[in-house]
Structure 1
Amino acid sequence: MLAALPLLLIPVALYNIVVLFNGSDVGMAQADAILSDPLFTVTMASGAQWSVGVGDLILFVALVILFFELLKSTASHRAAIVNHALSMILFVVCLIEFLLLRGFATSTFFLILIMVLLDVLAGFIVTIVASRRDMDFRS
């Protein structure tokens, strides 16, 4: 049953931990500051400084996990159906957080929200295409 859990729950949980545990009333500006505060800086060959913040790392993790979620969506066993339903619930929760909680109205969380939406759409589309291929409509 653990295989049915949507992996994109990880970056959503990371975002929640970073934003909600950094103050009781974190607004959008404070959340942006927390997420963009550089963790480390890399000097590029051009001499430019590339600063990587918490939000950047969360987005990187979310992109990698989205790849594995899309691979998982091609499975046709029962756990995949439960995964699609849980992904839809995760999308609804993320949408509610984005619309109603002040610290979640950031570009970082919006991109995570879009990744969760893509996971939901890909899961349902792959399931529909696979089921249409399995059905034989010859007369």
Structure 2
Amino acid sequence: MIVPFILYNLVIAGLAGFSGGDPWSSQILSVTMLSGGVWRMDLGEALILAGLVFMFFEILKSTRTSNASVIDHLLSTFVFVAFLVEFLVVSGAATSVFFLLMVMAAVDLMAGFSVSIRSAGRDVSIG
């Protein structure tokens, strides 16, 4: 989840080449459907899509049980805290795109802990 966080900050810092306006509403894809309707994707929607893909892999990583999983949980906690602090403090992060990315980081954090606790309960053998 750190990748969407970094990409978002690059865009709001102006390193991605946007000048003025809302960079998240810039259209990056437009497809005419068979029905005649036009489906378009904005930059913000693409970043949310990337966040969902990264969250999927993060949840897959949380299913393994090893010593590295503790470090993964710790890093997920730091990423969520960074999202939360930036959302509350930085005016450029007060957008729906950033909020949804922050919620994905929270779901990743909770899912990681839940999966680990559930799998740890199955590893315990008595007798």
Q: TM-score, normalised by structure 2?
A: 0.89
Aligned to 1:97: 86
Identity rate of aligned residues, in percent?
39
Question: Once the 2 structures are TM-superposed, how far is the Cα of residue 40 of structure 1 from its aligned partner?
Answer: 2.6
Residues 50-84 of structure 1 show CA distances to partners (whole Å, capped at 9, x for unaligned) of: 22111111111111111111111001111111010
Deviation at 1:137, TM superposition (A): 5.3
Match of 1:36 among 5, 18, 25: 25
The aligned counterpart of 1:3 is none
Structure 2 counterpart of 1:130, from 100, 103, 119: 119
* TM-score w.r.t. length of structure 1: 0.82
Counterparts of residues 33-72 of structure 1 (less than 5 Å): 33-72=22-61
Question: The residue matched to 2:29 in structure 1 has which SS?
Answer: strand
Query: Aligned AA for 1:135?
Result: V
CA RMSD, 1 decimal: 2.1
Aligned residues: 125
Structure 2 unmatched runs, 5+: 16-20
Matching residue within 14, 29, 49 for 1:21: 14
Task: Give the CA deviation at 1:136.
Answer: 3.5
How far apart are the structure 2 equivalents of 1:45 and 1:66?
Answer: 32
What CA distance in whole angstroms lies between the structure 1 residues aligned with 2:34 and 2:87? 38
Between 1 and 2, higher relative CO (CA 8 Å, sep ≥ 6) is seen in 1
Task: Note the residue ranges of structure 1 that are not aligned, 5 or more in a row.
Answer: 1-7, 23-29
